[in-house]
Chain A
Amino acid sequence: MKTNDVIIQFTAKIVFFMIFFYAVHIFFAGHYTPGGGFVGGLVTASAIVLLIVAFDLKTVQTILPINYIYMVAIGLILALGTAAISMFTGKPFFTHFFDYFNLPILGKTSLHTAALFDLGVYLVVVGVTMTIIQTIGEDE
């Protein structure tokens, strides 16, 4: 029997972006309020899972041709690299730096190296979650 999935596919295309941008919002909100890389990563992964449910694994792999294992590795390197920056300046490992910058459009913004670390966490979480889900999904 051919299933009718027009509605879920149409909705998923729109909702995917809503979830993804919400994840970005959570990611940046995490600096002072609840949120951060871990939650942001999970929300992003759930958005991709929604696409997999609405279409199928093969289609999503052609839309997003990402090697999630490399994503984990890049995330880890980013996190370790951020933590290691301070070693070059003679501070203990994991010391973070921040300052205020006047950016165009955004105005006065605080930029913190912890956000880079969090980006690493984000990539690792998305990578690991998607690797697990893809591995189980392929296994039929």
Chain B
Amino acid sequence: MNNFLLFPIIIPFFFAMILMFGRNNIAYQRITTLFGLVLSIICAAGLVSKVYEDGPQIVTFGNWPVPFGITMVSDMVSALLVLTTLILALFIVWYGFASIGKEREKFFYYSGIMFILTGVNGAFTTGDIFNLFVFFEVLLMSSYLLIVLGGEKAQLRESIKYILVNVISSALFVITVAYLYSVVGTLNMADISLKIAEIDQPGILTVIAVLFLLVFGMKAAIFPIYFWLPSAYSAPPIPVLALFGALLTKVGVYSITRTYTLFFTHDLSFTHELLLILSILTIVAGCIGALAHFDVKQIIIYNIVIAVGVILFGVAQMNEAGLEGAVLYLIHDMIIKAALFMLIGIVIYVTGTTNLRKMGGLMKTYPALGWFYLIAAFGLVGVPPLSGFIGKLLIVRGGFEAANTWTTILVLASSIIVLLSAMRIFIYAFWGEQGQLSSKVQKNKYNRLFIPTALLVVLSIFYGIGTEWLMPFMGDAAKVLVDPSIYTNAVMKGGN
């Protein structure tokens, strides 16, 4: 029993409520948001070190005994993801000060961000499958607010699609949880894991596993249900896009990882084979999209799809190297996607267009932007020693260890396509003849956009170089995923 693990969820929640007051006072809104985020980051960092020292932390609400109460579990995977989420939110909020606009700031933009963090952190932390649904709803409700906030024509059009897709997948989620409950008779995730192991996963549970893949896959944007993502994500302004791109699909990826390592581990030849095939198809679909578009936003958005495929490929291997790589790559991808969206946000700001064909020659006018973009692009691809390298290396090693030779080679080949798609932005926008330049660029605003972005890129460099020091944490995370008994033992014994 330890309430400390709840702080990264409760603090954003509390600050979201406070931010509902005084919505016209922008200085108050900004300072309170920053204060809340810094406070949560400190708690999340404390939580990571506590989990590292003492193992998974557990609290069961209302002092109920374990399988009956709602359990919150913070193991290494979730603690690391919570910390990453909060740090990224800090950078994105900082970046948003200069670009989101007063109208949105006065209309609960910061409350929306804090509520979405409550949902995301809750989803990462919960140890109860129904509460996973509840936290999904919390983050979805806030994302509905953020996607429609501003009321531009494109936002209104896309938010209808977005809401429709998510309402359908949420309904399916509840139905799937009900199926699962009717078979195993419990909602506590550790308890489900034990019950499934007892009955050795008959066919009905494999069906439920596929249903879960469908539900979470819709959030995570895997093939073939990623169709809503490119258009929906292109509608909101860049800070919101960065937040969504970095966090929301990753919650889906986390949920697939959690259910496929904790619950459905007894029919690997079917469930994980399916996950493997889908992840490869996701990578292929993402690659095609990333090469087909000339809109910078779309190129990076399709790169989200590719990354989701790569992470899930690592999960599908079900060995320590693959899972460790998946966790490393997941966190890398959250950081680098946020950085890339922020960078192309600046590119769009200085050129006044999203069309690559109209851009050009930015290297002369904005050299620093060019170099930081190049570093981020190399990081995305995984050029050593930048952040994507070790994660992808481990995923590939996991693939070879599991004897999935051809698919692993395909994953490696996808890196080249990712490189090509990221380099295309660099070649078109930064090289060549001087293209379109926006006449409204203010040096001051440019700097305020550039500083948080540059710092985030630097952070991603440190994530790459400092992997050595992070490895013990990642190793812990992978161990929990490889061996569910660490998780279940901690919950069944530790929670009261």
Segment with Cβ contacts to A, from B6-14, B155-163, B428-436: B6-14
Indicate if the CB atoms of A92 and B17 lie closer than 8 Å. no
Which A residue sits closest to B13, measured CB to CB? A80
Q: Is the CB of B400 closer than 8 A to any CB of chain A?
A: no
Indicate if the CB atoms of A80 and B17 lie closer than 8 Å. yes
Q: Which of A76, A87, A96 contacts B3 (CB 8 A)?
A: A87
Indicate if the CB atoms of A94 and B61 lie closer than 8 Å. yes
Indicate if the CB atoms of A92 and B59 lie closer than 8 Å. yes
Given contacts A84-B10, A92-B3, contact A70 B62 (CB under 8 A): no
A95 to B14: give the CA distance in the assembly, Å: 18
A86 to B62: give the CA distance in the assembly, Å: 9
- 17 further interface pairs, Cβ-Cβ under 8 Å (given A84-B10, A92-B59, A95-B61): A69-B20, A70-B20, A73-B18, A73-B21, A76-B13, A76-B17, A77-B17, A77-B18, A92-B61, A92-B63, A92-B496, A93-B10, A93-B59, A93-B61, A93-B62, A94-B62, A96-B62
A-B contact pairs, 17 of them (CB 8 A): A69-B20, A70-B20, A70-B21, A73-B17, A73-B20, A73-B21, A76-B13, A80-B10, A84-B10, A92-B1, A92-B61, A93-B59, A93-B62, A94-B62, A95-B61, A95-B62, A95-B63
**A113 CB to closest chain B CB, in angstroms?**
11
Inter-chain contacts of A76 with B (CB < 8 A): 13, 17
Residue positions of B touching A, CB distance < 8 A: 1, 3, 6, 10, 13-14, 17-18, 20-21, 59-63, 70, 496
Given contacts A77-B14, A84-B10, contact A92 B62 (CB under 8 A): yes
Q: Is the CB of A72 closer than 8 A to any CB of chain B?
A: yes
Most chain B beta carbons < 10 A, residue from A72, A73, A87, A94: A94
A121 to B33: give the CA distance in the assembly, Å: 25
Indicate if the CB atoms of B20 and A92 lie closer than 8 Å. no
Inter-chain contacts of A70 with B (CB < 8 A): 20-21
Which A residue sits closest to B5, measured CB to CB? A93
Q: Which of B3, B20, B21, B496 contacts A93 (CB 8 A)?
A: B3
**B15 CB to closest chain A CB, in angstroms?**
11
**A105 CB to closest chain B CB, in angstroms?**
32
Is the contact region of chain A dominated by helix, strand, or loop, or is it mixed?
helix
**A104 CB to closest chain B CB, in angstroms?**
32
Inter-chain contacts of B17 with A (CB < 8 A): 73, 76-77, 80
A87 to B1: give the CA distance in the assembly, Å: 11
Inter-chain contacts of B70 with A (CB < 8 A): 94
Q: Is the CB of A25 closer than 8 A to any CB of chain B?
A: no
**A15 CB to closest chain B CB, in angstroms?**
32
Most chain A beta carbons < 10 A, residue from B10, B17, B21, B496: B17
**B293 CB to closest chain A CB, in angstroms?**
37
Inter-chain contacts of B59 with A (CB < 8 A): 92-93
Q: Is the CB of A91 closer than 8 A to any CB of chain B?
A: yes
Inter-chain contacts of A69 with B (CB < 8 A): 20
A74 to B159: give the CA distance in the assembly, Å: 29
Q: Which of A77, A80, A84, A91 contacts B63 (CB 8 A)?
A: A91
Inter-chain contacts of B21 with A (CB < 8 A): 70, 73
Which B residue sits closest to A88, measured CB to CB? B3
Which B residue sits closest to A96, measured CB to CB? B62
**A28 CB to closest chain B CB, in angstroms?**
21
**B304 CB to closest chain A CB, in angstroms?**
32
Most chain B beta carbons < 10 A, residue from A86, A87, A93, A95: A93
**A77 CB to closest chain B CB, in angstroms?**
5
A84 to B3: give the CA distance in the assembly, Å: 10
Which B residue sits closest to A76, measured CB to CB? B17
**B32 CB to closest chain A CB, in angstroms?**
13
